[in-house]
């Protein structure tokens, strides 16, 4: 396996078959893993096309296996980063760590993906849309 990341919170490796193994460790490891699983299962149900697919998990080993989504994106404009995480919200997920380090790029298919959902929150999309409309109305009234 090729080690992609090794920190206090997790170790991430790519297997020879192209899947990605993430092992959780450190503070609240089990809760972070369970949250990753919950969010990835939600994103599969709503058919979000730009996130990895959860292939398997092992609760005792504190490990998940997901599909590979390319390599870490090195150069992405701040506008594109913002756009990607905004699009994720349309699928009912607030990432909570909306940083370039959580974006990958797959040159074979020519698209970006968002990864690492251990701190993400599920949101009510209809509520979010109402909040956005309220903000637009308030901005319109202010000008």
SS3 19: coil
Check residue 126 and give its pLDDT.
Answer: 61
SS3 61: coil
SS3 33: helix
Gap between the Cα atoms of 27 and 37, Å rounded: 17
CATH number, domain of 12, equals 1.10.510.10
Structural domain harbouring 129: 2-142
Check residue 88 and give its pLDDT.
Answer: 97
The conformation of residue 16, written as its DSSP 8-state character, comes to T
CA trace torsion 44, 50, 52, 54 (10° rounding): 0
Check residue 137 and give its pLDDT.
Answer: 55
Check residue 143 and give its pLDDT.
Answer: 44
Check residue 139 and give its pLDDT.
Answer: 58
Per-residue pLDDT of the chain (143 residues; tens, 9 = 90+): 899 999 999 999 999 998 999 999 999 999 999 999 999 999 999 999 999 999 999 999 999 999 999 999 988 999 999 999 999 999 999 999 999 999 999 999 999 999 999 999 999 866 555 555 555 555 555 54
Check residue 124 and give its pLDDT.
Answer: 85
Gap between the Cα atoms of 47 and 56, Å rounded: 18
Give how many domains the chain has, as a whole number.
1
Gap between the Cα atoms of 2 and 20, Å rounded: 9
Gap between the Cα atoms of 102 and 45, Å rounded: 21
SS3 15: coil
Gap between the Cα atoms of 50 and 104, Å rounded: 10
């Amino acid at each position: 396996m090729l080690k992609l990341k090794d920190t206090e919170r997790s170790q991430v490796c790519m297997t020879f078959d192209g899947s990605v193994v993430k092992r959780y460790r450190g503070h609240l490891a089990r809760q972070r893993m369970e949250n990753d699983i919950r969010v990835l299962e939600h994103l599969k149900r709503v058919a979000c096309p730009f996130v990895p697919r959860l292939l398997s998990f092992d609760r005792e080993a504190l490990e998940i296996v997901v599909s590979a989504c390319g390599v870490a994106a090195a150069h992405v404009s701040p506008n594109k980063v913002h756009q990607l995480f905004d699009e994720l919200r349309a699928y009912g997920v607030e990432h909570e760590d909306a940083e370039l380090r959580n974006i990958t790029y797959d040159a074979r298919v020519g698209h970006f993906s968002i990864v690492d959902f251990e701190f993400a929150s599920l949101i009510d999309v209809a509520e979010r849309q109402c909040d956005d409309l309220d903000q637009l109305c308030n901005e319109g009234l202010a000008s």
